[in-house]
Amino acid sequence: MISSLADDKSNESAIEIWNEKDHKALSTISLHIDDSALIYITGTKTSKKAWDILKRMYKAAGTISIIATH
């Protein structure tokens, strides 16, 4: 029982650290993208979600630009 409580506190601490790092990553992404792209990730809760949105946007633009140049 005592080790279970210690594990819970350890897990909570790890989750807090993870969330803090994720928030910093999301902030970094937001600060380094163009304002025109920022509107698409405003309101996302995780850096992964923001990254996935941006990846989809720019991948599509990349494909279109390749087709347009041929």
pLDDT digits (tens, 9 = 90+) for 20-44: 999 999 999 999 999 999 999 999 9
How many folded domains does the chain comprise?
Answer: 1
d(CA 67, CA 70): 5
- Which domain does 41 fall in, by range? 2-68
CB of 40 closer than 8 Å to CB of 57 = yes
pLDDT at 8: 82
Instruction: Return the higher-pLDDT residue of 62 and 43.
Output: 43
42 secondary structure, DSSP code: T
d(CA 70, CA 56): 22
**The overall pTM is greater than 0.75:** no
